[in-house]
Structure 1
Amino acid sequence: MKVKRNFIGEKNLTRKVAAYRLAMEVVRSGNEGSIKKTVTAIRKLAKFAKEELEMKNLSKLQSEHMKAFAEHLRNEVGDADISKAHAANIISCINRVFDHYGRDDLKLSAKEEGLNRGKRYYNIDRSVSNQLHEQFTDYLSQKFIQTGDTRYEALRIQVEMERMFGLRFKESALHDLKGIHRKDDMLDVVKGTKGSQPREVPILSDKGYELLNYAKDFKNEYGFNRSLIPDDMKFSQWQNFAYGVIRDFNERFDCDYHFHGERHTYAQERYLELTGFDAPVRSGFINGSYLQVMSEYYGITLEEAKELDKEARKIISEELGHHRIDVTCFYLGK
C-alpha cells in the first residue's frame, strides 16, 4: 500500500542543496546517478515554476501547471536547448517525486506529451476545437452573468486573445492593450514573453480589432488599470484562479481543455492561410506525404512545395515567439 506523504517541499528548490535533499529522500536506493538526474529534474521544474508561474513552493502545483511544464519542455526540445531523451528523463524523475508523495494527479506521460524516447513524436493534434472553445467561453460568459464577477469576463477575453493572436497565457494576461499599430496591422507583445524578448504579431481581420477594442472598453469600464488581471491580484494569484476555473470546467463537463491548445489552433489556422492546406496533424497527411499532395495540387515541384512549407513554418515560428522552425512540428505535425 502506497504511503501518502504531505508534499510540503523545500522553499527554493532551484538551489542545488535543497534539490539534493529532496532527491535523497525520493531515491531510496541511494544510487548516485539517479540522485543527480533527479536533482537536475527538480531544479528544472522549480526554475520553471518560479520564473513562469511565480510559484516558490511546488506543493501548490496543479495538473494544468504540469501541462504548461510539458509545453515548456517541448519548446526547449524544438529549440534544440535540450534533447528529447533529456526531456524524457526529466519527466521520469519528476514522476518519481510525485509518486513518492502520492501525487499521481501531477504525473506526465512522456509519450502522450510527445517527449518519449526514440522516434520524434510530432503528430499529435493538441489544438482546441471550435466546439470546445465555444463551450468554455460560453461557460465563462454564463459565470460572469450569474455572479457579476468580472474575473470570468476578463479570462474569456484573454482566451480569445490567445486564440486570435497566438499568445501564451502569461502574454495575454499581462497585455496592457497598447502597442496596436493600425497602419501596419500589428500588435506589440512585450510583457510575459519567453526570455523577455518582445515581438509583433499580425492583426489579420476586423475581428481582431473588434476584440482589442472590446478588451480596452472592458478594462476602462471595470477599472482594470494595468492589464486583464484585476488590480488587486498578482499574476500568480490570477493564474491560480484561471487554472482553478479550468479544473472545475473540465471536471463538470468531462473535458480536457487547456490554455496552450489555443496557440496550437492559431498555428494551424495560420498554416492554412499561408499555404492553402490544413496542417499535417489536422489533415492526416503526415511523415512528409503532405508535401507531395501540395506539389500535385499546385502543379509545382516537390522542392517548391518544401520551400512553401518552410516559409510558412518560419513565419508561424516567429509569430509564436520562437526562433527555430523545428518547434512548429509540435503545433503543425510533420
Structure 2
Amino acid sequence: MKIPRCREERQNPNARNYGLGSRDIKMAAIKLLEEKRAQQIIGFSTSAFHASRFSIFADWLENTYSIRDMRKICLSHVIEYADHLVERIENPDDKLNSYTTAANYLSSVNSVLSHARGDKLVHFTARDAGYPDRDDILRENKTITHDQHMKAKELVEPRLAAQMGLKRYLGLRFEGSCKINAKQALASAKEHGYVLIDCEKNHTPRKVSIRNAEQIKVLEEAASFQGDHHSLIPADKSYYEYSTYCYRQFSALDGYLPHSERRYFAQTLYTETIFKLTNISGVLCPVVAKIPHGKAHHQYLAEKLNLSLKDAKAIDRQARKIVSLELGHKRISITNSYIG
C-alpha cells in the first residue's frame, strides 16, 4: 500500500487526526512521520526524536484539556505549552533543565502539526516564545515594553489586563496570576511590605518585596475583580477553562509574550537591588545595558559602583541571588535567561 506523502493524499484528510489512520493522537503522529520519511524529508532517527517529543506534548494536552484529536489543537494551546516548558525549566524537581531542550520539544510539535494540517497556522517557535538563543543566557532583550504592555491591556478583557499587571510588577507566573488571592495579598503588602506567592504548582513559595506604589496599584486593580471568590479565576470556570480563555486572547496579540512580563520584573528588580545594596541608581543588568554577560558586565559594574572587579562580581552575585529568590528559582543560573 502506498504511503501518503501529505494531507492532500490522505483518504479522509478532514477526519479525526486529519485522516492519519488512527484515533490515538500519538499513533497518528507516528503515521504522519512515516509520510515525511516517504518524502525523504527526515530519516528514521529524526522521526523517532519527533515522535518521542510530540508524545510529551500529547500527554500534556490530554492531561490539561482532554484533547485527543489534532483538529482541536489551536495556536493558543501551543503558546501555553511553550510557557509550560519554561515553568518546567524553572522547577528544580523537573528533568527539563535547558532552553535548548525546550526548543527541541517545541520544534517537534511544530513539525508534526504543520505537516498534519498542511499549513503553519498553528506554529509557534522557540524564537516566537522568546527563548534564549543558546546556553540559556538572554542576549536579546525580549521584554515587553511599557507601551506594548499598555496596548496589550487595552486589547484583552479587564480581568486579564489586571493579571498582566501582576505578572509585570510582582513577577507572577500565569498560573499564579490566576490563583492568587489578591485581597489577601494586598493586605499583606500594606501591613508587612511583602506578598507571599504560594499558589503556583510545583514551585517553592516565595516572598516578593513591595518596593513601589505600582505594585500596590496592580494588587488593588486585581482585587476589584475578585469579589467574594478566593482567586481571580471566575467562580463559574475551572482553572483550565479559564486558562484556555486567556491564552486565546494572548494568541491574538501580535508579538506579545506573556512570560516576558516576568522578565521586566526581574530586570527592574536587579537595578533596584543594586541601588539597595550600594545606594547608586541606574545600574542595569547585562541585557538592558547591552553588555555581554560575565567579565564585560563586571567591568561595567566596577566603573559604575567605583569598586574593584572582585567586589563588583560579589555585588552582582548578591543581586542575582535576590532576584532568583523573588522569581522563585533555586538556581541562580536560571536568572541569566531573564537578565543576561
TM class by smaller structure:
0.7 to 0.9
Q: Deviations over 1:260-305 (max 9, x none)?
A: 1211111111111112422211221124322211111211122222
Q: Please provide the CA RMSD for this pair.
A: 3.1
After TM superposition, give the deviation of residue 75 of structure 1 in Å: 5.4
| Cα pair 2:179 2:233 within 8 Å, conserved | yes
Which residue number corresponds to residue 278 of structure 2?
none
Question: Is the 2:76–2:244 contact (alpha carbons within 8 Å) kept by the matching residues of 1?
Answer: no
- Say if 2:150 is the partner of 1:134: yes
Is residue 314 from structure 1 mapped to residue 321 from structure 2 by the alignment? Answer: yes
Q: Secondary structure of 1:27's partner?
A: helix
Aligned partner (choices 162, 173, 186) of residue 194 of structure 2: 186
Looking at both structures, which has the greater relative contact order when contacts are Cα pairs under 8 Å and sequence separation is at least 6? 1
CA offset digits 1:93-138 (Å, max 9, x no partner): 222211221252333434564465x665621222110011111223
Instruction: String of CA shifts for 1:66-97, please: whole Å, max 9, x gaps.
Output: 33433444555576733455334323322221
Residue in structure 2 matched with residue 264 of structure 1 by the alignment: 263
- Are the aligned partners of 2:96 and 2:102 in contact in 1 as well (CA < 8 Å)? no
For the 8 Å contact 1:7–1:101, the answer to whether it is kept is no
The DSSP-based 3-state class of the residue aligned with 2:202 is: helix
- Secondary structure, counterpart of 2:208 in structure 1: strand
Moved more, 296-305 or 158-167: 296-305
1:176 to 178, 181, 188: 181
Choose which of 30, 47, 51 in structure 2 pairs with 1:39.
51
Which runs of structure 2 are paired with 1:139-178 in the superposition (5 Å)? Answer: 139-140=155-156, 152-177=157-182, 178=184
Instruction: Say if 2:240 is the partner of 1:225.
Output: no
Query: Cα 1:121–1:308, aligned 2, differ >3 Å: closer, same or farther?
Result: closer
Q: Does 1:105 align with 2:121?
A: yes
State the identity %: 23
Between the aligned partners of 1:120 and 1:68, the Cα distance in structure 2 is: 20
Task: Work out the CA distance in 1 between the residues paired with 2:158 and 2:103.
Answer: 38
Q: Give me the TM-score of the superposition, normalised by structure 2.
A: 0.77
For 1:8 and 1:330, the matched residues in 2 are separated by 39
Rate the CA distance shift 1:72–1:125 in 2: closer, same or farther, 3 A: farther
Of 21, 24, 27, the residue aligned with 2:30 is: 24
Deviation at 1:205, TM superposition (A): 2.4
Conservation of the 8 A alpha-carbon contact between 1:68 and 1:260: no
**Residue aligning to 1:274:** 273
Aligned pair partner of 2:101 in 71, 82, 86: 86
Matched, 1:239 2:243: yes
Judged with a 3 Å threshold, the aligned counterparts in structure 2 of structure 1 residues 104 and 304 are, in CA distance, closer, same or farther, namely same
Distance 1:329 1:196, change over 3 A: closer
Structure 1 residue 198: deviation in Å?
2.5
Return 5+ residue gaps in structure 2 as ranges: 275-280
- State the shift of 1:37 in Å: 1.9
Moved more, 272-281 or 40-49: 40-49
TM-score normalized by structure 1? 0.78
> Residue type matched to 1:280 in 2?
P
Deviation at 1:168, TM superposition (A): 0.9
Residue in structure 2 matched with residue 325 of structure 1 by the alignment: 332
- What is the match of residue 147 of structure 1? none
Q: 1:65 to 1:120 in 2, by over 3 A?
A: same
SS, match of residue 95 in structure 1: helix
1:69 aligns with 2:81: yes
CA distance in 2, matches of 1:316, 1:268: 9
Once the 2 structures are TM-superposed, how far is the Cα of residue 59 of structure 1 from its aligned partner? 4.6
Q: Structure 1 residue 9: deviation in Å?
A: 4.8
Provide closer, same or farther for how the CA distance between residues 3 and 266 of structure 1 changes in structure 2, counting only shifts above 3 A.
Answer: same
CA distance in 2, matches of 1:305, 1:331: 20
**How many residues are matched?**
304
Contact 1:194 / 1:321 at 8 angstroms: preserved in 2? no
